[in-house]
Amino acid sequence: MASVAEIDGLTVPSAFLLDTYTGAAAAYSVRQLKSGATVAMRVRRVTGAGNTGNDDEADVVFDTSLATPTISLDSPVRNFSAGGSNATTLGEFLNVGTVPPYNGGLAFSNADSLTNTASCFVDEWKDQSGNANHATQSTPASQPQIHSGTVDTDLITEGATTSRPALQFDNSSTRHLQITSPAFRMDIRTCFYVFRETTSVNFSGIVSCADISGEDFNRTAASNINTGNGTTTFGYIAVDLSSSAGGANKNVRIQGTKPTPHSLASFKSDSTNASLQRNNGTFDTATHGYGTNVTNPGNAYVGCRYSAGPSNGLTGTIQEVIIYDTSTHQSNMSSINNDLNSYFGIY
């Protein structure tokens, strides 16, 4: 994790991950990854049909009072939708009530006179790479969730030893985010994913991609959880890569060690090989069968697999996604893994 310094009583990182390991094509996280990145996501609150504040939206800013700026109930909110709001923090925007240890255990005010605590969903997960490859979902029923709507309750979190905010997905093929401008190539890349599978589902996807013709050339950009082939509880992490070059379908699946639910999957590929590791462990490597189409990405999704459209949604959470569309930083993968682990407490 980046070191910190005290300036006028505020704790600020001396460097963020993407400031040190530059050149990411897309990066999404519940924590701040790059200097200058302020807004983590745009959210929608749900209080119930016809109730005050229902379906109002707001941008959520990283909480810079924390040693590592992260989204929290104390995160500032701004840029409200037409319904407007008097809230200054996410906790007020949702009317969460009293959630210790926030504000010394004091209640968040009901700034908008809501009739109940609002549940909260993600419209857009902001890309912190600087490339504006935001991951969005405009259909309300298809948005991942970050607050349950239960009074006196914190954000949805993940981590057995270190609880951090997380986006909750529910195994629906429609509940996913789509990367709006997938301008990154998929044949040579370096990727990092922090996620948890809470229920075993065969071939559930973390990040998925397809070429400009819609062909399923790369079902998962970095990791695909597979609970088939004789596994019982949680399956191994796998990567499915395929293309139809010259009419021949080419596939390779790289099987990682059967994971504990909370995992860090790291993936790299070059012109010949693709390699996957779990929790900074040993790489599993295979020769890939990429065709000529793989440099033309057209659709990319977070939280599901792509097979002629979104399918096989994840049942679980995602906390961080970082994609480099080159082999840059493959020599630094262990250091990057350790940074992610230091914050999320995975292994």
SS3 sequence, the chain?
CCCEEEECCEEEECCCHHHHCCCCCEEEECECCCCCCCEEEEEEEECCCCCCCCCCEEEEECECCCCCCECCCCCEEECCCCCCCCCCEHHHHHCCCECCCHHHHCECCCCCCCCCCCEEEEEEECCCCCCCCCEECCCHHHCCEEECCCCCCCCCEECCCCCEECEEEECCCCCCEEECCCCCCCCCEEEEEEEEECCCCCCEECEEEEECCCCCCECCCCCEEECCCCCCCCCEEEEEEEEEECCEEEEEEEECCCCCCEEEEEEEECCCEEEEEECCCCCEEEECCCCCCCCCEEEEEECCEECCCEECCCEEEEEEEEEECCCCCHHHHHHHHHHHHHHHCCC
Percent of the chain with pLDDT over 90: 47
**Is residue 264 predicted with pLDDT exceeding 80?**
yes
pLDDT (0 to 100) of residue 187: 67
Give mean pLDDT, residues 248-253. Answer: 52
Average pLDDT, the chain: 81
pLDDT in tens, 53-100: 999 999 999 999 999 999 999 999 999 998 899 999 999 999 999 998
Who wins on pLDDT, 25 or 33?
A: 33
Q: What is the pLDDT of residue 10?
A: 44
pLDDT at 313: 76
Domains of the chain by start residue, with CATH: 38-124 (no CATH), 169-344 (2.60.120.200)
Tokens 């589902």 belong to which residue?
201
pLDDT at 9 over 50: no
Tokens describing residue 345: 């407490």
Asked if residue 101 has a cis previous peptide bond (ω within 30° of 0), the answer is yes
Confidence (pLDDT) at 203:
66
Measured between alpha carbons, how far is 311 from 255 in angstroms, rounded to an integer?
20
C-alpha–C-alpha distance, residues 336 and 18, integer Å: 10
**Has residue 289 got a pLDDT over 70?**
no
20 pLDDT band, cuts 50/70/90, is very high
Residue showing tokens 């924590």: 31
**pLDDT confidence bin for 294, thresholds 50/70/90:** low
Q: Which two tokens stand for residue 13?
A: 């990182």
Mean pLDDT over 263-288 rounds to 83
Q: Looking at residue 243, what is its pLDDT?
A: 52
Q: Is the pLDDT of residue 249 over 80?
A: no
Cα radius of gyration (the chain): 20
Has residue 246 got a pLDDT over 80? no
Q: How far apart are CA 101 and CA 223, in angstroms?
A: 35
Q: How far is CA 296 from CA 69, 146, 300, in A?
A: 35, 33, 11
Task: Quickly tell me which residue has 């990319």 as its tokens.
Answer: 300
* pLDDT single digits (tens) 136-171: 999 999 999 999 999 999 999 999 888 999 999 986
Q: What percent of the chain has pLDDT over 70?
A: 71
Could you tell me the pLDDT band of residue 267, with boundaries at 50, 70 and 90?
confident
Please identify which residue in the block is written with the tokens 């704790």: 11
More confident residue, 258 or 95: 95
pLDDT in the model for residue 287: 74
User: Which of 100 and 309 is assigned the larger pLDDT?
Assistant: 100
So what's the pLDDT on residue 112?
Answer: 96
